Amino acid sequence: MKGDTFTDSIDNSHGPVAILGSGISGCAAQKLLVSRGKTCQLFDQRNRIFTQEDAKRSSYVVQSPGFEPNHEWIKTALSQGKEIFSEIDLGLSCSDHSEFVAITGTNGKTSLTSILGHVARRLNMPCEELGNIGRPLSEAVTNSTLKKKIVFHETSSFQAVSSRSLLPDAVLWINFAPDHIDYHGSELEYFFAKLKLANSCVSPHNVFIGTSVIKYARKFGVGLNVGFREIKPFTIQELPRNIASFHLSKPQLENLAFARSWFEHKGVGLERFFEALVDYNPHPHRLKKVKSVNGVNFWNDSKSTNELSTLAACNSFPKKVIWIGGGKSKGLQIDQFVLNLYPYIKSAFLLGETASELSKNLRNFEIESQVCQHLEDAVAQAFQSAHKNDNILFSPGFASFDMFLDYNERGNSFESLVFDLKNTIQISTNLPIYNLQASH
């Protein structure tokens, strides 16, 4: 990246750098800039507002991914003629990685990123998993851990839109479904954000796309580069018999096909790929059984933040589930969500700002539902309604930010409540605790 506009800005700029957002990305950007001798100022709505005077003083602006392109602070910076870069732009300008693989899609990004990293390490391919999976690129650059390594970067549509210098060596665009309408304004603009990332790849032949991407491209009348490679999900019959049950759900069959295709592209045979996959442990909060309490099975899928993910989780069970869901809306049509969801659920216990509207729509299909004030209430009421061998599925389908810091805190809270419930039952009754195994 040497010699590009952003590197010149870092090396030759005078005055403080304004960083919009003090979350994980913003703090990582600050640490990197400080390590290069720059003065930084963090701005957020709670602690410090970004003003016209701040914009005037700033040499340039680093934008955290949560800031919409039309945010007032972005307009303020532009009105003062300031260049705006993303945290990824900042990291790329200083990185010495060997290869950058961008993983994007509506669902499955974290799982695929972690699968790629696990298999690569087992095959002695130095790598790091960065981005939305939990560790920003800038943090790794600051810590000097990327030298000649492959970067598997979980890349959100927010990051794709805001980044100016991201030219991936490969792009894995797993799937597409409506999401983040509140940020992008429409399904089409959300699609274009993903497409921008694919089109920025150094070679179209290194872009791997899922069947749903092609479906939506046709729906929108958008042309895709003929060099892009379509990847179809594995079938269960194509997998080794000793494959872990986690990989047998529809989303994971798709993820495995993408991982397999990328490693095949690197010259790794099918047998070696599956050998390296054997001891893979799933990323937390992605459709995993927590416990059985009196024969009732509790499943944690807190990472589900949209309709497609929740539907995929529900479809993984042989019978209807008791659903715990709801959260912060992202601009999706709740009536359409419920229309697609109701055939999979027998009852629902609902949380967050979407709870009332979900309940109203579920009643149209005669699905019993309860609006709960807290996750603890939802877990307790769902358990009281359950019978032996029922599955209680916590797959929210919406963002967590109305009640929790993120999906990790949400998932950890759910698991703690389930363990507390089990302990309470054991202490207060003599009922046996069944420890049933997952049926798939």
Query: Tell me: the pLDDT tens digits for 208-240?
Result: 999 999 999 999 999 999 999 999 999 999 999
pLDDT at 65: 85
**pLDDT tens-digit readout, 265-314:** 999 999 999 999 988 987 777 788 899 999 999 999 998 888 888 988 89
Q: Are 263 and 273 in contact (CB under 8 A)?
A: yes
Q: What does the alpha-carbon distance between residue 252 and residue 111 come to, in Å, rounded to a whole number?
A: 8
User: DSSP readout, 286-305?
Assistant: SSEEEEEETTEEEEE-TT--
Q: Is the pLDDT of residue 439 over 70?
A: no
Say what the pTM is: 0.76
Does residue 108 sit in helix, strand or coil?
Answer: coil
Q: pLDDT (tens digit, 9 = 90+) per residue, 43-69?
A: 998 889 999 999 999 999 999 887 888
Give me the helix-helix angle, 307-314 and 334-341, nearest 10°.
Answer: 10
DSSP string for 219-234: HHT----TTPEEEPPP
Q: Which residues pair with 20 in a beta bridge?
A: 43, 63
Rounded to whole angstroms, the Cα distance separating 211 from 109 reads 16
76-126 pLDDT per residue, tens: 999 999 999 999 999 999 999 999 999 999 888 989 999 999 999 999 999
Distance CA 149, CA 126 (A): 5
Rounded distance, CA 133 to CA 232, Å? Answer: 24
| Alpha carbons within 13 A on the beta-carbon side of 420 | 11
Mean pLDDT on 343-356: 95
Q: Which residue has the tokens 């969801």?
A: 341
- pLDDT tens-digit map of 146-166: 999 999 999 988 888 888 899
User: Which bin fits 326, alpha (ψ -120 to 50), beta or left (φ > 0)?
Assistant: left
Q: Of the candidates 380, 358, 253, which has an alpha carbon nearest to the alpha carbon of residue 312?
A: 253
The average confidence (pLDDT) of the chain is 89
End-to-end CA distance of the chain: 47
pLDDT tens per residue, range 321-344: 999 999 988 777 899 899 999 999
pLDDT in tens, 176-211: 987 777 777 888 998 999 999 999 999 999 999 999
Q: What is the CA radius of gyration of the chain?
A: 23
Q: How far is CA 340 from CA 190, 249, 337, in A?
A: 21, 18, 5
Owner of token pair 């605790």: 433
Q: What are phi and psi of 166, to 5 degrees?
A: -80, 110
Phi, psi of 102 (to 5 degrees): -95, 125
Return the amino acid letter for 130: L
Determine the number of helices (DSSP H) and then strands (DSSP E) in the chain: 18, 16
**Which tokens hold the place of 363?**
């009643």
